[in-house]
Amino acid sequence: MQDRRFPGQQAQGITQTQTGTSLDASAASVLKNTYMLLGLTLAFSAAVAYFSMNMPHPGFIITLVGFYGLLFLTSKLQNSIWGIASTFALTGFMGYTLGPIIGMYAGAGAMGIVTDALGLTALVFFGLSAYSLITKKDFSFLNGFVMVGFFVLIGATVLSLFTEIAGLHLAISCGFVLFSSAIILMQTGSIINGGERNYIMATVTLYVSLYNLFLSLLNILTALGGDD
C-alpha cells in the first residue's frame, strides 16, 4: 500500500521485529532517506561554498540569525514537502558561510589543510555511523554529556570574544569535535532504535554536526600547523 504521508512522516504499523543484523522496516526507511537527503544537501552546500569563495563572509551575527532562522523554519515545515526546500535553504546558507573561509585558505596556498580536514571529517562520520549500525546501541545516555557540553561550549565561545586566553580557541575546537561526534552517535542510534522518525530533522542534525566537526578540525589543524 502506498504511503501518502508527508516526507518527514513514516507509516505506522508496518515495522518488522528486529533480528540479527537487520533493521526494522521503518528504521531502514528513515536511515535511507536521511543519508540520501544528507548526501544531496552536502553536495549542494559544497557547490555554494565553491562559488562563494571570493565573496565576503556574512559575519558572526548574520550567520547566527540566518542559521537559527532557517533552522526554526525547517522545524516548522518538517512534516511537509516544503521542509525539504527549507533544508536546502539552510544547508546552502551554511555553505555560503564556509566559502569565504575556504577562499582564505586557498589564497594563502593552504588548501592542503582544508583537504585534510575534509578527509578527517569523512573518516570520523563514517566510522561513528558504522559503529552505530553494527552495534545498534542506544546512545541516549550521552544526553547529559551533550547538554552540559553545549552550555560549556557556548560559555567558552562567548568568553573567547572578549578575552585572549592562550589556547582557549584550540580547546573550544577540541570540545566541538567531541560534541559533534556525540551528536552523530546519538542521532544515528536514535534512527536505528526507533527514536527518530523524521528524516528531515535527522538530516539537519547530522549536517550541522558535520559542519561543526569540519570547522573544528580545520581550526585544530591550522593551529598545529602554525598557520594564522
How does pLDDT run across 178-190, given as a tens digit for each residue? 999 999 999 999 9
Cα distance between the two ends of the chain? 58
Could you give the CA distance from residue 169 to residue 136 in angstroms, rounded to a whole number?
Answer: 35
Q: What DSSP character marks residue 18?
A: -
pLDDT band for position 77 (50/70/90)? very high
Q: Average pLDDT over the chain, rounded to whole?
A: 86
Residues 6+ positions from 169 with CB-CB distance below 8 Å: 160, 219, 223
pLDDT at 202 over 60: yes
**Cell (9 digits) for 59:** 559575519
Mean pLDDT of the 84-88 span: 96
- pTM (2 d.p.): 0.85
Domain ranges of the chain: 25-225
Q: What percent of the chain has pLDDT over 70?
A: 89
In whole angstroms, how far apart are CA 103 and each of 58, 109, 219? 14, 10, 15
Find, among 96, 100, 93, 128, the residue nearest to 114 by Cα.
100
Name residue 193's amino acid: N
Mean pLDDT of the 129-146 span: 87
